[in-house]
A and B are shown apart, each in its own frame.
Chain A
Amino acid sequence: MSASNLSEITRELVLGKIRSDIAASLAAIRVMRADPIVTTEPPQSYFIYQSIAQYRTPAVFAIVEDMDFKKERGANHVNATVKINISVVVEDRLGDNVVIKAERYQAALYDILDEAVIDSSDNTLRVVVIVKRAMFSPVYMKDDKSQSAFRKEVLLECEVEHYENF
């Protein structure tokens, strides 16, 4: 029998899409805003779990929260919905700027992910990403009081429709 990919490959496809498109998407946001008040460099690090003590920002987190196989659909294959939280943590020396920076990364990630259709390289898996909601953390201060003192996180709650042969 063949094996199922399930959540790991879903997450990797979504992360791969972000990695490949984020620079162009951020650049497009930058052109549209026409106001270089903050830098929008590509993410410095990517993580698939939450509890990280120290990391470089901008940092992207992709956390699989839930995979519902939606058996009520009656499909004869994996026709599941995967809930993935995609968040980005940014920092800046100024409180106002960290808010704007977070909003721009949110916009860039939304452009990349919403309604994105991604196939696995062997074509056994297709995912369709639907961005359901964005949530914003408060602005908080880093403990080490370094120059980039303010941090903020924005989280995109994504539902990923997952179609898979097995």
Chain B
Amino acid sequence: MSVPSFSTIDPTKMIISPSRVTFDGLDLGGTSGNVTVTFGYKKSDVKADQIGDTILDRFNSGIDIKVTTEFLEVLDLSKVETLFPAATYISASPGALQFNSAITTRDSDNAKILILHPLFQDTASENKDWYFWKAVPTEESEFVMSPTEQSKLKIVWQILPDVSVTPYRFMRYGDKDLV
């Protein structure tokens, strides 16, 4: 038997793992529907009429990062209120969340640190974390009430730049303190 060629695979570098979601230092607890980071550099094409639609080159023209998950602990309004920073939280027991117009509320004022910690890692280990310096919930959601489905809030975070450093930074996959 002969094998003409093969790939060198390192299975120890592969993983399946759910994630802990921490926003502004608060563990948001149970999630469902996976936690998804969607990110990409936006590119602008460089073309020339002489060769039609062929892409000659591309320039980075921006970056867009979002994090999506479904939040399950919907009865804990002290957690829910962190997901709707423009809403007004009434902390008197048992708590309430009121949605006013909130016109002129600025997202960057509400942006906080978001950390996704894969659970196959020790709690203390940050070296496979996803770290976002400025994350803000988009505050577009829907709440399901059903005889068969678990109630949940779909939450999307928009990642804004941390402009306190140069160049502006958005996220890191790995230890945030590594230099």
Interface residues of A (CB under 8 A from B): 1, 76-77, 115, 117, 119, 123-126, 128, 130, 161, 163-166
Contacts and interface: CB of A to CB of B under 8 A. Distances in A.
Interface in B1-49: 1-3, 6-12, 14-18
A126 B12 contact: yes
7 contacts: A1-B2, A1-B6, A77-B9, A117-B15, A119-B11, A119-B12, A126-B12
Contacts of B8: 165
Interface of B: 1-3, 6-12, 14-18, 119-120
Interface of B, secondary structure class, is: loop
B16 A130 contact: yes
Contact of A128 (B1, B10, B15): B15
A123 B12 contact: yes
A115 B18 contact: yes
A137 B8 CA distance: 44
A164 B17 contact: no
Contact of A1 (B3, B10, B119): B3
A117, A119, A123, most chain B CB atoms within 10 A: A117
B11 A125 contact: yes
